[in-house]
Structure 1
Amino acid sequence: MNQPPAAGPPARPQRPAGGRTPLYLAVAADLRTAIGAGEYGSGARLPAEDELARRYTVSRGTVRQALAALRADGLVTSRRGTRRVVLASPGERRDATELRSFTRWARSLGEDPGGRTVHVEPGAADPEEAAELRIGPGAPVYRVLRVRTLSGRPVMVERTTYPDAVGALVAAMPADTVSYSEELARHGVLFTDAHHTIDIALADARDATLLGCPQGAPLLRERRRATDPTGSPVEWSQDRYLPGTVAFTAHSTATGALGRRLGPPDPAVR
């Protein structure tokens, strides 16, 4: 059975200004990131509750709440009175029902994720951005353009709009930051839910340059609005993947069916 590597105590999870986000969610986010990074493989046991409490300098009650959040995500076992066992197994597909960052997904495949920021620009929200981020039209936002890589190969162009407070944190990060979500979590900004729309878009001139594909080539597009634990939007993103680099899966039930929409084609794919 795999055993987790020895590690020193991480910094105490930080609450955002105002303390709206419960501390247990910050602990859960850190453990989730560690599991996604492969620090605890499938079948490995997490440290005991009292050890985690000391590591994060929190109460055992906070640790229990964090582990409950991981149970709800299907990442660890729910047996009481025993050390939790990691259930999540790396997979080659991205589950559209699971909010997992590009970086964590890439690491689960044994790939080396990378990112290069092309530009970060402040601006005023257009009507679509305002609607998705639930802010007023013209409110300040930051727009970020990045190219993402797997083991050095460009596979995706990421266009993300952040509300002002979150965007200011992103703007201060180095251009070669691999994971914005991991860095933002250290500032108490957590991504806990998302709404995804997946379709096809044609590569524009910028896509072609960054991905090395012909202009007009079909790309898999994921449009995503992510929210924090309070339900407030923290990003609106449009990611374009090269064909053959990613596949999305979704699980549906009779009470939670996969959404479908019939409507006119997107102008980008006419």
Structure 2
Amino acid sequence: MALEPDQSAPGPAGTERGAALYRKVAADLREAITTGAFGEAGRLPAEGALAEQYGVSRGTVRQALAVLRSDGLVTSRRGTRRVVLGNARVQSFSELLSFTHWARSMGEEPGGILDSLVRRPADAAEREQLRLEPGAEVYAIVRLRTLSGAPVMVERTVYPPRVGELVAELPADVVSHTEQLREHGILFTDADHTIDVVAANAEDARLLGCRRGSPLLRERRRTTDPTGTPVEWSQDRYLPGTVAFSVHNSLATSALSRHARDSD
């Protein structure tokens, strides 16, 4: 589908036309991807072919592709065409949903495979996040999370003792810790999230079936109960293309902030 000629002139009017064009291209490609026009893991046409198809400049095409990439719909490496990731499963930070609740809301069957559960002394970062005294212990778990049987995420969660003792008593194959803890009066009501990309370590590679060093999307999350008391500190690592996160901002209240990445 060709759009109006890409005749972006200097000044506000030209800028607005250019913005409208790349948004139209992005919207059209998004619809094609979500309807399966390029197939699963298919490749988009080259930039030049897309520019000719839509009657726009290559710069406009690159802007449109950048939007799709930020939405988790395509990915690319230098020297190759964009690869379709398919319909990214989107989780909104406007709602605090457990992995199990989120998966079921999309019609997926969630799974959890316990890899390890240990009680050990908390390190400095864990004491800070969970507001624990020096010498305090925590319960640390590692689980592989699946969607309809497919591995998507390694969950590493650290619980303070009062919560961890309850988790330790749960069956190893229980799907949702959050739902079980709610029955014991442990409520997960507020959370702070930090999103970045990390390299898969040996444990990630073993559980997810990916290569060591391959990029994973990491969500770090500190969750508190209605009194503001921390109940978990979690670091979840997702395979690329399995999830995307959405954030709503407004001038009145903005929940999203950007920080320079800290080192592990």
- Compute the TM-score of the two structures, normalised by the length of structure 2: 0.65
Of 122, 125, 130, which residue of structure 2 is paired with 1:125?
122
Of 244, 248, 257, which residue of structure 2 is paired with 1:260?
257
Paired residues for 1:66-215 under 5 Å: 92-215=89-212
1:133-186 per-position Cα deviation (integer Å, ceiling 9, x unaligned): 011132111001100000111100000000001001001111111000000001
1:192-228 per-position Cα deviation (integer Å, ceiling 9, x unaligned): 1101011111100000000000000100100000011
Of 223, 226, 233, which residue of structure 1 is paired with 2:223?
226
CA contact (8 A) 1:155 1:245 kept: yes
CA contact (8 A) 2:89 2:242 kept: no
Q: Distance in 2 between matches of 1:117 and 1:191?
A: 21
* Structure 2 residue matching 1:259: 3-state secondary structure: coil
1:106-136 per-position Cα deviation (integer Å, ceiling 9, x unaligned): 0011111000111110011111001100111
* Structure 2 residue matching 1:157: 3-state secondary structure: strand
- Compute the TM-score of the two structures, normalised by the length of structure 1: 0.63
CA contact (8 A) 1:124 1:137 kept: no
Q: Distance in 2 between matches of 1:256 and 1:175?
A: 40
CA contact (8 A) 1:162 1:236 kept: yes
Aligned-pair CA distance for 1:257: 2.0
* Structure 1 residue matching 2:205: 3-state secondary structure: helix
* Structure 2 residue matching 1:208: 3-state secondary structure: helix
Aligned-pair CA distance for 1:96: 1.7
Aligned-pair CA distance for 1:258: 4.2
* Structure 2 residue matching 1:225: 3-state secondary structure: strand
Q: Which amino acid aligns with 2:108?
A: E
CA contact (8 A) 2:249 2:256 kept: no
Q: Which amino acid aligns with 1:208?
A: A
What's the counterpart of residue 214 of structure 2? 217
Structure 2 unaligned runs (5+)?
A: 1-87
Of 223, 230, 247, which residue of structure 1 is paired with 2:244?
247
Larger Rg: 2
Q: Distance in 2 between matches of 1:256 and 1:240?
A: 28
Q: Distance in 1 between matches of 2:134 and 2:246?
A: 34
